[in-house]
Amino acid sequence: MPQLEVDGAALTYDDEGPREGDGVPLVFLHGWTANRRRWDHQVAHFAAKRRVIRLDLRGHGESGGAGVRTIEELATDVLALLDHLEVERFVLVGHSMGGMISQTLTLAHPERVERLVLVGSIGRMTYSRGRGLLMAVSTRVPFRLFVAANIQRAFAPGYPREEIREYIRASAATPREVVMTLYGAMRAFDVLDRLGEIGTPTLLVHGYYDIQLPVSQMLRMAKAYQNAEVRILDAGHELPVEKPAELTATLDRFLTGARA
């Protein structure tokens, strides 16, 4: 597995698919406490015909490094990797916190982003009452319990319990310092008033049962975009793994310009 040293962090990444494939490379960015494997279904599909890049963000999965205090710092990591790989223009696909990174990168470098896909993400972090209470007690409960409560809420009702337990175990392996520092970075994230600057063709995909970042927040955000499509799927917050085939098909239609 290749790695790139960026500002004290060894970033683990995958770079798959044909270099001269269909269209510019796809860049997949995972969310808070997750890792690059969240995108397995999408990568397996798209890497057959175009270049696909994904990474473990610093402190997550197989990447090293401590937590950072701003989403901009994570965006800098991603851009450093793309520069290293000599990828000038690309499509960004970001889930949750990865969508925050994607919006940040697009605002800073609109000339490099051909299309933008936000999966279960928003432009300003606003918590529901339940999530706010959970975050308020986060420093007073055992770390694994805090992680478990967050991950449990991320899935729609009826999702298999054993699979949820596997995701809880994987998320709890993320160092506490990384988890809590990035929680602060997400809490401070706010680009909502700048989204009207983004003219990049944008797809916003959200789960109807998402209680982490409710669909109502995404719909308010969608109004700010110049050129946005919205798709709502029958899922919770973890769309890449709850509805992998539906999400992949939705991305495919958007990338080829087809209409549902």
**Distance separating alpha carbons of residues 199 and 121, to the nearest angstrom:** 18
Helix 71-84 with 176-188: angle, nearest 10 deg: 110
- For 22-39, how does the pLDDT look when each residue is reduced to its tens digit (9 = 90+)? 899 999 999 999 999 999
Q: How would residue 46 be classed by pLDDT, with cut points 50, 70 and 90?
A: very high
Claim: this prediction has a pTM higher than 0.75: yes
Q: Which helix (H) or strand (E) holds 132?
A: helix 129-136
- For 179-202, how does the pLDDT look when each residue is reduced to its tens digit (9 = 90+)? 989 988 998 999 999 999 999 999
pLDDT at 137: 60
Q: How would residue 112 be classed by pLDDT, with cut points 50, 70 and 90?
A: very high
pLDDT at 1: 81
Q: What CA–CA distances, in Å, run from 111 to 106, 135, 149, 210?
A: 8, 37, 40, 32
234 compared with 21, residue with greater pLDDT: 234
* Least confident piece of the model among 23-32, 230-239, 251-260: 251-260
**Distance separating alpha carbons of residues 177 and 100, to the nearest angstrom:** 20
How many Cβ atoms from other residues are within 10 Å of residue 25's Cβ?
Answer: 22
Q: How far from the centroid of its chain's Cα atoms is residue 70's Cα?
A: 15
Give me the CATH topology for the region 3-256.
Answer: Rossmann fold (3.40.50)
